[in-house]
Protein backbone atom coordinates (compact mmCIF):
# COMPACT_ATOMS: atom_id res chain seq x y z
CA UNK A 1 0.00 0.00 0.00
CA UNK A 2 1.34 3.43 -0.93
CA UNK A 3 2.47 5.56 1.97
CA UNK A 4 0.86 8.99 1.83
CA UNK A 5 2.84 11.79 3.50
CA UNK A 6 1.06 13.17 6.55
CA UNK A 7 0.54 16.59 4.95
CA UNK A 8 -1.60 15.04 2.22
CA UNK A 9 -4.02 13.17 4.45
CA UNK A 10 -6.16 15.96 5.82
CA UNK A 11 -7.98 16.60 2.52
CA UNK A 12 -7.65 13.17 0.90
CA UNK A 13 -10.94 11.84 -0.44
CA UNK A 14 -12.91 14.99 0.39
CA UNK A 15 -13.90 15.89 -3.15
CA UNK A 16 -16.89 17.17 -5.09
CA UNK A 17 -16.07 15.99 -8.61
CA UNK A 18 -13.01 13.96 -9.52
CA UNK A 19 -9.96 15.36 -7.74
CA UNK A 20 -11.47 18.75 -6.91
CA UNK A 21 -13.29 20.31 -3.99
CA UNK A 22 -15.55 23.36 -3.70
CA UNK A 23 -15.93 25.09 -0.34
CA UNK A 24 -18.79 27.53 0.35
CA UNK A 25 -20.14 27.36 -3.21
CA UNK A 26 -22.95 29.83 -2.45
CA UNK A 27 -20.72 32.36 -0.67
CA UNK A 28 -21.93 35.95 -0.91
CA UNK A 29 -18.57 37.60 -1.58
CA UNK A 30 -17.69 38.79 -5.08
CA UNK A 31 -14.37 36.99 -4.60
CA UNK A 32 -13.93 33.49 -5.96
CA UNK A 33 -10.70 31.92 -4.71
CA UNK A 34 -8.86 29.12 -6.48
CA UNK A 35 -5.99 27.04 -5.17
CA UNK A 36 -4.36 25.21 -8.09
CA UNK A 37 -1.59 23.58 -6.05
CA UNK A 38 -3.48 22.85 -2.83
CA UNK A 39 -2.44 19.21 -2.36
CA UNK A 40 0.57 16.91 -2.57
CA UNK A 41 -1.62 13.80 -2.80
CA UNK A 42 -0.86 11.10 -5.36
CA UNK A 43 -3.53 8.48 -6.13
CA UNK A 44 -2.35 4.90 -5.47
CA UNK A 45 -2.35 3.98 -9.17
CA UNK A 46 0.37 6.57 -9.78
CA UNK A 47 2.58 5.11 -7.07
CA UNK A 48 5.24 7.55 -5.89
CA UNK A 49 6.35 8.73 -9.35
CA UNK A 50 9.73 7.43 -8.26
CA UNK A 51 10.09 10.05 -5.52
CA UNK A 52 10.75 9.89 -1.79
CA UNK A 53 8.22 10.99 0.82
CA UNK A 54 10.51 13.93 1.61
CA UNK A 55 10.21 15.12 -1.99
CA UNK A 56 6.43 15.11 -1.72
CA UNK A 57 6.63 17.56 1.17
CA UNK A 58 8.69 20.04 -0.86
CA UNK A 59 7.39 22.92 -2.96
CA UNK A 60 7.89 20.88 -6.13
CA UNK A 61 4.85 18.79 -5.19
CA UNK A 62 2.45 21.53 -4.03
CA UNK A 63 2.25 25.04 -2.55
CA UNK A 64 2.78 24.49 1.19
CA UNK A 65 0.53 26.66 3.35
CA UNK A 66 -1.52 28.03 0.46
CA UNK A 67 -4.65 25.98 1.12
CA UNK A 68 -4.97 26.84 4.84
CA UNK A 69 -4.64 30.53 3.97
CA UNK A 70 -7.23 30.20 1.20
CA UNK A 71 -9.67 28.34 3.45
CA UNK A 72 -9.36 30.95 6.20
CA UNK A 73 -9.86 33.79 3.72
CA UNK A 74 -12.90 32.08 2.21
CA UNK A 75 -14.39 31.76 5.68
CA UNK A 76 -13.61 35.34 6.69
CA UNK A 77 -15.03 36.83 3.49
CA UNK A 78 -17.88 34.35 2.89
CA UNK A 79 -16.26 33.50 -0.44
CA UNK A 80 -16.28 30.35 -2.56
CA UNK A 81 -13.06 28.37 -2.98
CA UNK A 82 -12.13 25.77 -5.61
CA UNK A 83 -9.10 23.59 -4.87
CA UNK A 84 -7.30 20.92 -6.86
CA UNK A 85 -6.91 17.70 -4.89
CA UNK A 86 -3.88 16.15 -6.55
CA UNK A 87 -0.18 17.00 -6.66
CA UNK A 88 1.08 19.31 -9.38
CA UNK A 89 3.62 16.60 -10.16
CA UNK A 90 0.84 14.34 -11.48
CA UNK A 91 -0.48 17.21 -13.60
CA UNK A 92 -0.27 20.96 -13.16
CA UNK A 93 -3.76 22.46 -13.27
CA UNK A 94 -2.26 25.93 -13.76
CA UNK A 95 -0.86 25.10 -17.20
CA UNK A 96 -2.47 24.84 -20.64
CA UNK A 97 -2.72 21.37 -22.14
CA UNK A 98 0.09 22.09 -24.60
CA UNK A 99 2.55 23.37 -21.97
CA UNK A 100 5.85 21.46 -21.80
CA UNK A 101 5.61 21.37 -18.00
CA UNK A 102 1.97 20.25 -17.81
CA UNK A 103 3.30 16.90 -16.56
CA UNK A 104 6.86 17.79 -15.58
CA UNK A 105 9.74 15.38 -16.10
CA UNK A 106 11.90 17.64 -13.94
CA UNK A 107 10.87 20.15 -11.26
CA UNK A 108 13.49 22.71 -10.25
CA UNK A 109 16.44 20.24 -10.22
CA UNK A 110 14.58 17.05 -9.26
CA UNK A 111 13.91 14.37 -11.88
CA UNK A 112 10.39 12.87 -11.83
CA UNK A 113 10.91 9.30 -13.12
CA UNK A 114 7.20 8.45 -13.15
CA UNK A 115 6.53 11.24 -15.65
CA UNK A 116 9.09 10.13 -18.22
CA UNK A 117 8.07 8.60 -21.56
CA UNK A 118 4.32 8.84 -20.98
CA UNK A 119 2.06 7.73 -23.81
CA UNK A 120 -0.77 9.86 -25.17
CA UNK A 121 -3.23 7.65 -23.27
CA UNK A 122 -1.23 8.11 -20.04
CA UNK A 123 -1.42 11.86 -20.46
CA UNK A 124 -5.12 11.76 -21.30
CA UNK A 125 -5.80 9.83 -18.08
CA UNK A 126 -3.98 12.47 -16.06
CA UNK A 127 -6.01 15.22 -17.74
CA UNK A 128 -9.26 13.39 -16.98
CA UNK A 129 -8.18 12.70 -13.40
CA UNK A 130 -7.59 16.27 -12.27
CA UNK A 131 -7.08 19.00 -14.89
CA UNK A 132 -10.45 18.72 -16.60
CA UNK A 133 -12.56 18.32 -13.41
CA UNK A 134 -10.77 21.32 -11.87
CA UNK A 135 -11.39 23.61 -14.82
CA UNK A 136 -14.89 22.28 -15.49
CA UNK A 137 -15.77 23.03 -11.87
CA UNK A 138 -14.46 26.60 -12.02
CA UNK A 139 -16.19 27.07 -15.37
CA UNK A 140 -19.54 25.90 -14.02
CA UNK A 141 -19.26 28.03 -10.88
CA UNK A 142 -18.33 31.18 -12.80
CA UNK A 143 -21.16 30.66 -15.29
CA UNK A 144 -23.59 30.01 -12.43
CA UNK A 145 -22.59 33.25 -10.71
CA UNK A 146 -22.71 35.35 -13.86
CA UNK A 147 -26.11 33.94 -14.86
CA UNK A 148 -27.37 35.10 -11.46
CA UNK A 149 -25.96 38.60 -12.09
CA UNK A 150 -23.31 38.27 -9.39
CA UNK A 151 -20.03 40.14 -9.38
CA UNK A 152 -17.17 37.67 -9.73
CA UNK A 153 -13.54 38.52 -9.04
CA UNK A 154 -11.08 35.65 -9.31
CA UNK A 155 -8.03 35.38 -7.05
CA UNK A 156 -5.63 32.43 -7.06
CA UNK A 157 -3.69 31.65 -3.89
CA UNK A 158 -0.16 30.22 -4.13
CA UNK A 159 3.05 29.97 -2.16
CA UNK A 160 6.67 30.04 -3.31
CA UNK A 161 9.95 28.70 -1.99
CA UNK A 162 12.44 31.16 -0.41
CA UNK A 163 15.31 29.66 -2.42
CA UNK A 164 14.96 28.56 -6.04
CA UNK A 165 17.86 27.04 -7.97
CA UNK A 166 20.24 28.62 -5.46
CA UNK A 167 18.79 32.14 -5.73
CA UNK A 168 17.26 33.78 -2.65
CA UNK A 169 13.90 35.48 -2.99
CA UNK A 170 13.54 38.48 -0.69
CA UNK A 171 9.81 39.17 -1.14
CA UNK A 172 7.44 38.03 1.61
CA UNK A 173 4.58 38.30 -0.87
CA UNK A 174 4.17 38.84 -4.58
CA UNK A 175 1.12 40.04 -6.50
CA UNK A 176 0.94 38.83 -10.10
CA UNK A 177 -1.12 40.50 -12.80
CA UNK A 178 -1.21 41.43 -16.46
CA UNK A 179 -2.49 44.74 -17.84
CA UNK A 180 -5.70 44.39 -15.80
CA UNK A 181 -4.65 45.94 -12.48
CA UNK A 182 -8.09 46.47 -10.93
CA UNK A 183 -7.33 44.10 -8.06
CA UNK A 184 -3.54 44.04 -8.10
CA UNK A 185 -2.91 47.79 -7.93
CA UNK A 186 -4.85 48.43 -4.69
CA UNK A 187 -3.38 45.29 -3.13
CA UNK A 188 0.19 46.25 -3.94
CA UNK A 189 -0.36 49.84 -2.80
CA UNK A 190 -1.88 48.76 0.52
CA UNK A 191 0.81 46.19 1.24
CA UNK A 192 3.63 48.61 0.44
CA UNK A 193 2.08 51.46 2.41
CA UNK A 194 2.35 49.39 5.60
CA UNK A 195 6.16 49.46 5.32
CA UNK A 196 6.27 45.94 6.75
CA UNK A 197 6.93 43.87 3.65
CA UNK A 198 9.08 43.55 0.58
CA UNK A 199 6.25 43.26 -1.96
CA UNK A 200 6.93 41.78 -5.36
CA UNK A 201 5.10 43.34 -8.31
CA UNK A 202 5.05 40.41 -10.74
CA UNK A 203 7.69 38.72 -8.60
CA UNK A 204 8.83 35.99 -8.12
CA UNK A 205 6.88 35.17 -11.30
CA UNK A 206 4.84 37.01 -13.89
CA UNK A 207 2.29 35.98 -16.52
CA UNK A 208 5.21 35.76 -18.98
CA UNK A 209 6.35 32.68 -17.02
CA UNK A 210 3.15 30.83 -18.02
CA UNK A 211 1.85 30.76 -14.44
CA UNK A 212 -1.32 32.77 -15.10
CA UNK A 213 -3.26 30.14 -17.04
CA UNK A 214 -6.17 29.53 -14.66
CA UNK A 215 -6.89 33.24 -14.40
CA UNK A 216 -6.45 33.79 -18.13
CA UNK A 217 -8.86 30.96 -18.89
CA UNK A 218 -11.63 31.80 -16.45
CA UNK A 219 -11.29 35.54 -15.71
CA UNK A 220 -9.39 37.35 -18.44
CA UNK A 221 -11.33 35.52 -21.15
CA UNK A 222 -14.50 37.11 -19.73
CA UNK A 223 -13.14 40.50 -18.75
CA UNK A 224 -13.44 39.68 -15.04
CA UNK A 225 -11.08 41.25 -12.46
CA UNK A 226 -8.37 38.88 -11.24
CA UNK A 227 -5.01 38.66 -9.51
CA UNK A 228 -2.62 35.99 -8.28
CA UNK A 229 -1.26 35.97 -4.72
CA UNK A 230 2.14 34.38 -4.03
CA UNK A 231 3.19 34.13 -0.36
CA UNK A 232 6.69 32.96 0.54
CA UNK A 233 6.12 29.60 2.16
CA UNK A 234 8.30 30.19 5.23
CA UNK A 235 5.81 32.93 6.13
CA UNK A 236 2.93 30.42 6.25
CA UNK A 237 4.69 27.31 7.53
CA UNK A 238 2.51 27.09 10.65
CA UNK A 239 -0.98 27.95 11.82
CA UNK A 240 0.05 31.28 13.28
CA UNK A 241 1.59 32.53 10.04
CA UNK A 242 -1.33 31.24 8.01
CA UNK A 243 -3.82 33.04 10.25
CA UNK A 244 -1.84 36.31 10.17
CA UNK A 245 -1.63 36.41 6.38
CA UNK A 246 -5.25 35.34 5.93
CA UNK A 247 -6.44 38.10 8.29
CA UNK A 248 -4.24 40.70 6.64
CA UNK A 249 -5.28 39.83 3.09
CA UNK A 250 -8.95 39.44 3.96
CA UNK A 251 -8.88 42.91 5.50
CA UNK A 252 -7.33 44.37 2.35
CA UNK A 253 -9.83 42.59 0.13
CA UNK A 254 -12.72 44.03 2.14
CA UNK A 255 -11.50 47.53 1.28
CA UNK A 256 -11.41 47.00 -2.49
CA UNK A 257 -14.22 48.75 -4.36
CA UNK A 258 -14.68 48.41 -8.11
CA UNK A 259 -17.09 50.15 -10.48
CA UNK A 260 -20.32 48.24 -10.99
CA UNK A 261 -19.31 47.31 -14.55
CA UNK A 262 -16.05 45.72 -13.39
CA UNK A 263 -17.50 42.21 -13.17
CA UNK A 264 -19.63 42.33 -16.30
CA UNK A 265 -19.09 39.32 -18.56
CA UNK A 266 -18.81 40.46 -22.14
CA UNK A 267 -16.87 37.63 -23.71
CA UNK A 268 -17.75 33.99 -24.45
CA UNK A 269 -16.47 31.16 -22.30
CA UNK A 270 -13.23 29.60 -23.58
CA UNK A 271 -13.22 26.34 -25.51
CA UNK A 272 -11.31 23.43 -23.99
CA UNK A 273 -8.63 22.01 -26.30
CA UNK A 274 -8.16 18.31 -26.85
CA UNK A 275 -6.14 16.39 -24.28
CA UNK A 276 -4.02 14.81 -26.97
Residue extents of the structural domains in the chain: 6-263
Please tell me the class of the 6-263 domain.
alpha beta
pLDDT of residue 204: 96
Q: Residue 259 burial by CB count (10 A; 0-12/13-18/19+): exposed, middle or buried?
A: exposed
Residue 264 reports pLDDT greater than 50: yes
Instruction: Look at residue 33 and give its three-state secondary structure.
Output: strand
pLDDT of residue 14: 42
Instruction: Say what the pTM is.
Output: 0.90
Average pLDDT of every residue of the chain: 90
Query: If you average pLDDT over residues 191-197, what whole number do you get?
Result: 95
Tens-place pLDDT, residues 197-222: 999 999 999 999 899 999 999 999 99
Residue 3 reports pLDDT greater than 80: no
User: What angle do the packed helices 184-193 and 239-255 form, to 10 degrees?
Assistant: 120
At CB < 8 A and 24+ separation, what contacts does 13-16 make?
Answer: 14/85, 15/85, 16/137
Query: If you average pLDDT over residues 71-82, what whole number do you get?
Result: 98
Amino acid sequence: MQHVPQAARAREGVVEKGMVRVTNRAGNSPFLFVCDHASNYLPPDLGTLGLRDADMLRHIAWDPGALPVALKMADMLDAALVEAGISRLAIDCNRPLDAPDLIPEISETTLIPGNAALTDSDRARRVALSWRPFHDTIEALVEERLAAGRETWLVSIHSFTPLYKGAARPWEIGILHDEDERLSAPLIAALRSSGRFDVGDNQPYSPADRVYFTLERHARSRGLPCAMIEIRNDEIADGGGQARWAELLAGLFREIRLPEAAATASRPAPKTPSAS
